[in-house]
Every structure is written in structure tokens, then in C-alpha cells.
């Protein structure tokens, strides 16, 4: 792989604007090469030979001069005889490097001057960005050190505080008398695994401080006495605990202005929760330091590569001076990030892993997920089985003439809605797997945006594997339940086959809530937790995954109705005779309306909370959009049940207005397109897909599929070649496809917004809140 592609693949995508623009610099070198090739062709042959001889002599002198400088004490290490540039720091308050090209008077020198000017601008941009980020992580390190002080003090308080205080006093006295004490044995006396922890507690180390030099000072004993008491219980008087997760109960208490007990009670439960939060904070902080270190390395390597290309094209010597400047700059000489990484490793291993380095480094450096062959094999197997089952169903329909049988209508009204539920789910999973594939292809950082735990996010193959496995179960059940003839004696169907759909739903639910670590347990629980947060809106703080999932549920209206139909069909219907009176029940009709508006109501409440918390008027408008959608759905459902000209007009008008508003919101707000002042006509300034026509095609498809649901109001559901239930299923499937297309461009826009703000890390809440008004 060429360096340019490798360089782009290893970038932190949210920081890509801060990296050295390697491709543009390479294009400038191509211009220089083109100019030289053009002019060499016009120069007489004798002059070309003279230049070639001069070039070879220059290369020889450069080599001999290097060897002589290595042995000559008089030679200056910063002086290069054949260098054609001079690099200097011209910044007064901050580093700013400028290169003087000494051969500008030569033919083609202007192009080389442009190259060095651009190279200086790019390098200064990199250095300034790196400085800012290092300042930020140093401030975060200080904050984490204060958090560790409070945690250590809490540990001392929780684990037999009186004995710990006496141990501290004994250790201090021993040190003042010049004796030593085996600190590691203290914790074992109590049966507590605190040996390595106490060593850190009484050692007073801080991840944000430099190495201590107290031994060289005259009052070293006093310093040792202070050093052994960093975790004094005075810290506990200056902090408030912040370990309670956000729950509906805590939200209601805040709304009702009920005071929440946030003081420390010095319990082991508090200690455990605080440790979990700090462990996560240290892990995220370590990952950030790793990305910063990689940022520094990649940019230095890019400068080195581009200078080598320059020397190869121009046959000049310039890289030594420039690379020496890079090495002496803050980017090349600063080791603060490396030191912080080492201190984080030591602190994390000692305080959270009981001194087990292997365990600590495994937590700090999680291994990347590897693609397994068994996933691909199983995916191929299930896909083949699904295709075979589809063929078997088609053959069975044709051979048994089921389509023209008398029980066709009864089957479509009773059994088809039961199995269509699984079709909606499988189709949505297929669309999501396609989204993942294209997000990865165009380098959209979807694990960070969705706040997935590192290493647990599913790839498109894993999602397709689950979808194909579910499709095999559903298709096999459908094939076993294609009987259209009832028993003439009992006037009913076989009980076992009629219970197959219910058993299938039970299997899916059991797998979803299975507590064992099978079938991607972490992803299943993440999904269930997010669904719960959606249904409990607005009692939880709204995150992107919450409203993104709620939007997915708004496209699964027919799936929700199928779930309701399950309850009615098997609860109050006569499933043995494939008959029910659900649609004649007023209670069922009320629930049919309520279950449809649940996801839209959840989105409405989420928008209201965001509008209040974030002071964002746009979210207020978004809430009105969902409220109008709810009104349109209610009117459309009422018209579908009771008919009538008035209801039809009201449903058509409300649906039409809602369709227009939702379409505009999709394209302009969610996708960020149709910007008339954009560099890309009527799109947006930054695009990830190189083919602009893809965006226009997506806009047209979104508009057309938004209009499809209007046919349900205009009575276009009765087609001679397609049953009404099948037509509704087709419309629902088209809505799922529209949502899948919407997903890609919505997340692309979110990714670009994160890139614009250089947001590449999760914000982790810390367990302790310091009272800044009190001195530490």
C-alpha cells in the first residue's frame, strides 16, 4: 500500500483537517516535476550532460562531506554545505517556522517556493493543533489526579479507617526515623487486596506531576511525611459524590426540586461505583493519549516522506535542515504525551488491577476485533438455506395451487400478519448491515457516534448473520404453516402448526433477553437498554443513539401493529379456526392507534427535553413536526376504520402537510443538503461520497418513498393482482428501505459535524465533584 493511502487510513477522522495535507503537497511536487520535464526537453543536449555531471559530483561531495563531518570536531552539526533552504523560527509568542529557499532565482524556483510556503503552513498548523491538544490532556490529567486523591481517601475510609490511619502514622514515624517498612504486607493482614493500592496511596504519586526530587532537599524527611499523607481524609470534606446513574426517579426528583442526597456515606457500594467510573475515565484518557502520540508520529513521517519526494524530483539536498527543524519543534521534541501514558499505565495497574500489568494493559489496550471465518461460513450457510426455503415456498404455492384456493383470504387476514413481522425485522437488519458496510467504506466513525463500547460493535457480516439466521427460522415456520385446508370433521386446523408463529416470537424474545454470553450479548443488552430509554422519554437525558433508535421505530409501525395483533389473535381469537374479531373491537382499535403513535410520541418528548436543556429552538420545531405526524396518523387510522368523506379529507390534508414537512426536514436539516451557497451545487461543502449524483438520487428516492404512504389515504390499496394485506406489507417495506437510506446520510452529516468540532472522544462523567471554593 502506498504511503498516501496508509496515511489516510490511520488518521483520526475527526481530526483530519488538522493533519498535514500530504496529497496537496504531493500535487505541488507533481507540478514541479512537470515543469522540469517540460524544460529539460527544450534544453540543448550538451547543457543536459553538463547538468548531469554536476548532479553526480554534487551527490559525491554530499556523501564525502557527511563522512568528514562525522569525524571533524570543527564542523557545525546544523550546517549542511549543499542545503538549498534555511529554516528558522519566526514566531514571537508561539512556534512558527518559515523556510527560505535559496535557489529562487533559478529557473522553476517559483514553484519550489510555493511548495515550501505550503509545507510551512501545514506544519505550523499541525504543531499548533498538537500543542492545544497536549494542553487539554494536561488539564485532564490534573483533574484525574484530584479524582484519585478523593478515591484513595474514600478507600482508606471504607476499609477499616481507624486501622488505616494508624498504619499511615506508623509508616511516617518509621520513615522519619530512617527505617523502612514493607508496605505491601499491610493490606494482607486484613484479608483485603489492597497491597498495591496502599503502596500508591501512601506514595503520593500523581499522573500530572513530574518525578519527585525531595531526596535532594535538606528537609527530605518532612517531604516524606507529607508524601505519605496525600490521601488524607480532608479530601472527603471537599467533594460530593456523583455516582448515581440517571434514572426516571432521579429526573422526577430534580423536576420536583427534591434534594438528592449527594454526600458521601462511606459505603462499599459507593466505592465500587466510583472505581468503575474512574476506571472508564482512565481508559478513555489513555486512548486519547494514544491517538495524540499516533498523530505526532504520522505527521512527522508525512514530512519525512514528502521531503524525500522533493529531493528525488529536484535532485536537491533539503531534507536534513527541514527534518532537524521538525525534530527540534514541539511536535518532535515534546515527550509529555509519552510520560503521561507511562504514568497512566502505572496508576491504572496499581490502583485498579492490583499490580497485575498483563490485566491492566489488556484493559487499556483492547485488541481489535478479528473477522472470523466461521462468521462468513455461517452467513453463507444461512443465506443459502434462506434462498432454498424461498424457492420451496414458491414451489409449494404453485404445486398446491394455494393462491387460488378458498382459504387464501382467511390465510392473508390471519396468518400473513403474524409472519410479516419477521420480514420487517429481517429487512431492517439487512438495511442496517448495508449502512455499516458503507459507513466503514467512507470512514464514518459510527462506533464513536453511537457510543459503542470499543471492541463490541458489530460488523456488517455479524448483523447479516443474525438476519439470515432469523430468516431461516421464519421461512421454515412459514413453509410448515402453508396448510389451507381445515379438517372437515373438527372444522379446525392443527393446533401444533397454528402455534408455530407464537413459538417463533417466544424464541426471539428468549434470545433477546438471554443472560448467557451467546449471540452478541453486549449488543443485545445495548439495544434493549436503548429501547427502554426511548420508551421512558423524557425521563432520560437524550443521546444520539436514543433519538436515532426512536426514528427507526417510527418506520416500524406495521411491525408494532403485528405485535398487537399477536396479542389479540392468540388471546381473544380462535386461532384453531383462523378467525378473529379484533377489528370489530373498539378496545383493539384504540390500542391500534396508541401503539402506532408511541415511537412518534417518544420522539416528541425527546425533542421537548432537548429544547429545554440545550436551549435549542430547532428542537422545538422538530417536536412540532412529530406532533403533526401523530395527528396525521390518528386521522388516517380513524379513516381506515370508519371511512367517511370528512375523515378522508382531513386525513389527506394532514398527511400531505406532514409529508412535505418531513421531507424538507430529512433533506435539509438531517442530511444538511440543498445548500445553495455550497461549494458542491445544492449539496453541502463537505461530502464523503465522491459521486455527487448519489445525493440527488437519494433525495429523489426519499421524496418518492415519503409519498408512498399517501396511497393508504387515497384508497389505492385494492389491487386486482395483490391482496390488501400484501400491499400494506410492501408499503411498510418501502418505508424501511427509505429509513435505511436516511440512516447513511444522517450519520454522514453527524460525522462531518464532529469533524468540524474535532470531537473524537467520549465525555466520561467523573465520580467526585470538588468544591472549588475550598482550598485543598
Q: How far is CA 597 from CA 498, 602, 665, 717, in A?
A: 30, 8, 19, 22
* Helix-strand-coil split of the chain, %, nearest 5: 70, 5, 30
Q: pLDDT > 90: what percent of the chain?
A: 40
Q: Per mean pLDDT, which range of 11-15, 208-212, 413-417 is the poorest?
A: 208-212
Q: How far is CA 619 from CA 141, 553, 572, 745, in A?
A: 35, 19, 42, 19
Asked if the model's pLDDT at residue 767 lies above 90, the reply is no
- What integer pLDDT is reported at residue 487 of this predicted model? 67
pLDDT in tens, 549-564: 999 999 999 999 999 9
**Distance, CA of 209 to CA of 145 (rounded, Å):** 9
Instruction: With cut-offs at 50, 70 and 90, classify the pLDDT of residue 186.
Output: very low
Instruction: With cut-offs at 50, 70 and 90, classify the pLDDT of residue 757.
Output: low
Summarize the confidence of residues 359-382 as an average pLDDT: 84
pLDDT in tens, 407-442: 788 888 889 999 999 999 999 999 999 999 999 999
Contact 323, 338 (CB under 8 A): no
Contact 190, 159 (CB under 8 A): yes
**Distance, CA of 688 to CA of 251 (rounded, Å):** 39
- What integer pLDDT is reported at residue 775 of this predicted model? 39
- What integer pLDDT is reported at residue 156 of this predicted model? 80
Torsion of CA 677, 679, 683, 685, to 10 degrees: -100
**Distance, CA of 583 to CA of 640 (rounded, Å):** 11
Domain boundaries, the chain: 3-132+286-364, 373-756
**Distance, CA of 255 to CA of 249 (rounded, Å):** 10
**Distance, CA of 654 to CA of 295 (rounded, Å):** 53
**Distance, CA of 499 to CA of 494 (rounded, Å):** 9
Q: Which three cell numbers stand for residue 638?
A: 380513524
Instruction: With cut-offs at 50, 70 and 90, classify the pLDDT of residue 586.
Output: confident
Summarize the confidence of residues 102-125 as an average pLDDT: 86
| Local structure of 279: helix, strand or coil | helix
Contact 103, 109 (CB under 8 A): yes
- What integer pLDDT is reported at residue 191 of this predicted model? 35
Phi then psi dihedrals of residue 384, to 5 deg: -65, -40
Contact 611, 623 (CB under 8 A): yes
Q: pLDDT > 70: what percent of the chain?
A: 77
Q: What is the number of alpha carbons within 13 Å of residue 145 lying toward its C-beta?
A: 17
Q: What is the number of alpha carbons within 13 Å of residue 132 lying toward its C-beta?
A: 9
Given its phi and psi angles, is residue 739 left (phi above 0), alpha (psi -120 to 50 degrees) or beta?
Answer: alpha
- What integer pLDDT is reported at residue 151 of this predicted model? 86
pLDDT in tens, 243-261: 666 677 777 767 666 654 5
pLDDT in tens, 640-691: 777 778 888 888 889 889 999 999 999 999 999 999 888 898 999 889 999 9
Query: pTM (2 decimals)?
Result: 0.81
Asked if the model's pLDDT at residue 490 lies above 90, the reply is no
Asked if the model's pLDDT at residue 699 lies above 70, the reply is yes
Give the helix/strand (H/E) hosting 89.
strand 85-89
Instruction: With cut-offs at 50, 70 and 90, classify the pLDDT of residue 619.
Output: very high
Given its phi and psi angles, is residue 217 left (phi above 0), alpha (psi -120 to 50 degrees) or beta?
Answer: beta
CA-only gyration radius of the chain, Å: 34
Amino acid at each position: 500500500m502506498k504511503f498516501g493511502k496508509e496515511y489516510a487510513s490511520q488518521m483520526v477522522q475527526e481530526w483530519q483537517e488538522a493533519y498535514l495535507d500530504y496529497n496537496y503537497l504531493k500535487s505541488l511536487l507533481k507540478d514541479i516535476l512537470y515543469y522540469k520535464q517540460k524544460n529539460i526537453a527544450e534544453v540543448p543536449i550538451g547543457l543536459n550532460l553538463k547538468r548531469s555531471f554536476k548532479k553526480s559530483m554534487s551527490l559525491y561531495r554530499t556523501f564525502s562531506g557527511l563522512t568528514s563531518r562525522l569525524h571533524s570536531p570543527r564542523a557545525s552539526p546544523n550546517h549542511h554545505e549543499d542545503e538549498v533552504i534555511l529554516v528558522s523560527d519566526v514566531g514571537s509568542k508561539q512556534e512558527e517556522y518559515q523556510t527560505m529557499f535559496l535557489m529562487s532565482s533559478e529557473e522553476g524556483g517559483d514553484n519550489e517556493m510555493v511548495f515550501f510556503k505550503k509545507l510551512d503552513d501545514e506544519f505550523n498548523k499541525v504543531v499548533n493543533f498538537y500543542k492545544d491538544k497536549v494542553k487539554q490532556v494536561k488539564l485532564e490529567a490534573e483533574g484525574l489526579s484530584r479524582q484519585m486523591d478523593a478515591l484513595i481517601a474514600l478507600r482508606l475510609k471504607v476499609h477499616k479507617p481507624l486501622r488505616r490511619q494508624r498504619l499511615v502514622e506508623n509508616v511516617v514515624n518509621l520513615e522519619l526515623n530512617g527505617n523502612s517498612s514493607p508496605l505491601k504486607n499491610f493490606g494482607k493482614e486484613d484479608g483485603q487486596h489492597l497491597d498495591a493500592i496502599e503502596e500508591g496511596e501512601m506514595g503520593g504519586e500523581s499522573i500530572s506531576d513530574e518525578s519527585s526530587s525531595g531526596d535532594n532537599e535538606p528537609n527530605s524527611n518532612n517531604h516524606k511525611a507529607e508524601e505519605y499523607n496525600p490521601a488524607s481524609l480532608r479530601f472527603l470534606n471537599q467533594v460530593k459524590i456523583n455516582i448515581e446513574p440517571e434514572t426516571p426517579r432521579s429526573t422526577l426528583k430534580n423536576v420536583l426540586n427534591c434534594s438528592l442526597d449527594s454526600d458521601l456515606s462511606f459505603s462499599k457500594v459507593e466505592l465500587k461505583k466510583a472505581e468503575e467510573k474512574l476506571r472508564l475515565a482512565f481508559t478513555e484518557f489513555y486512548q486519547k493519549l494514544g491517538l495524540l502520540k499516533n498523530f505526532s508520529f504520522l505527521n512527522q513521517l508525512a514530512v519525512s516522506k514528502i521531503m524525500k519526494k522533493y529531493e528525488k524530483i529536484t535532485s536537491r539536498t533539503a531534507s536534513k535542515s527541514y527534518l532537524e527543524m521538525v525534530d527540534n519543534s514541539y511536535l518532535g521534541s515534546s515527550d509529555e504525551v509519552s510520560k503521561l501514558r507511562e504514568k497512566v499505565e502505572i496508576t491504572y495497574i496499581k490502583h485498579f488491577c492490583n499490580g497485575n500489568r498483563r490485566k491492566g494493559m489488556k484493559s487499556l489496550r483492547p485488541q481489535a476485533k478479528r473477522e472470523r471465518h466461521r462468521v462468513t461460513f455461517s452467513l453463507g450457510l444461512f443465506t443459502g438455506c434462506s434462498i432454498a426455503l424461498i424457492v420451496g415456498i414458491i414451489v409449494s404455492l404453485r404445486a398446491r395451487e394455494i393462491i387460488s384456493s378458498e382459504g387464501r383470504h382467511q390465510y392473508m387476514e390471519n396468518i400473513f400478519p403474524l409472519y410479516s413481522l419477521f420480514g420487517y425485522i429481517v429487512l431492517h437488519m439487512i438495511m442496517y448491515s448495508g449502512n455499516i458496510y458503507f459507513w466503514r467504506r467512507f470512514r464514518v466513525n459510527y462506533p464513536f457516534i453511537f457510543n459503542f463500547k470499543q471492541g463490541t460493535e458489530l460488523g456488517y457480516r455479524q448483523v447479516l448473520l443474525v438476519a439470515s439466521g432469523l430468516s431461516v427460522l421464519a421461512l421454515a415456520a412459514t413453509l410448515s404453516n402453508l396448510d389451507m385446508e381445515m379438517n372437515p370433521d373438527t372444522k379446525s386446523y392443527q393446533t401444533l402448526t397454528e402455534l408455530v408463529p407464537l413459538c417463533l416470537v417466544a424464541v426471539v424474545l428468549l434470545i433477546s433477553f438471554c443472560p448467557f454470553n451467546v449471540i452478541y450479548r453486549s449488543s443485545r443488552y445495548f439495544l434493549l437498554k436503548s429501547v427502554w430509554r426511548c420508551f421512558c422519554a423524557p425521563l432520560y437525558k437524550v443521546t444520539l443513539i436514543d433519538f436515532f433508535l426512536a426514528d427507526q421505530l417510527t418506520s416500524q409501525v406495521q411491525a408494532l401493529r403485528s405485535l398487537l395483533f399477536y396479542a389479540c389473535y392468540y388471546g381473544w381469537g380462535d386461532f384453531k379456526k383462523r378467525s378473529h374479531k379484533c377489528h370489530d373491537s373498539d378496545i383493539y382499535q384504540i390500542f391500534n392507534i396508541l401503539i402506532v403513535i408511541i415511537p412518534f410520541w417518544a420522539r416528541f418528548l425527546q425533542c421537548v427535553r432537548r429544547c429545554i436543556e440545550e436551549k435549542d429552538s430547532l428542537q422545538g420545531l422538530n417536536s412540532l413536526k412529530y406532533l403533526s405526524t401523530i395527528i396525521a396518523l390518528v386521522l388516517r387510522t380513524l379513516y381506515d376504520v370508519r371511512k367517511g368523506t370528512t375523515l378522508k379529507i382531513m386525513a389527506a390534508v394532514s398527511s400531505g402537510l406532514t409529508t412535505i414537512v418531513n421531507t424538507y426536514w430529512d433533506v435539509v436539516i438531517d442530511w444538511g443538503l440543498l445548500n445553495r451557497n455550497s461549494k458542491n451545487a445544492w449539496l453541502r461543502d463537505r461530502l464523503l461520497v465522491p459521486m455527487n449524483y448519489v445525493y440527488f438520487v437519494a433525495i429523489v428516492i426519499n421524496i418518492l418513498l415519503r409519498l408512498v404512504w399517501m396511497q393508504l389515504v387515497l384508497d389505492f390499496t385494492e389491487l386486482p393482482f395483490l391482496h390488501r394485506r400484501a400491499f400494506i406489507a410492501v408499503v411498510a417495506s418501502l418505508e424501511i428501505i427509505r429509513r435505511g437510506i436516511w440512516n447513511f446520510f444522517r450519520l454522514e452529516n453527524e460525522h462531518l459535524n464532529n469533524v468540524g468540532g474535532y470531537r473524537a472522544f467520549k465525555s466520561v462523567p467523573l465520580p467526585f465533584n470538588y468544591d472549588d471554593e475550598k482550598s485543598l
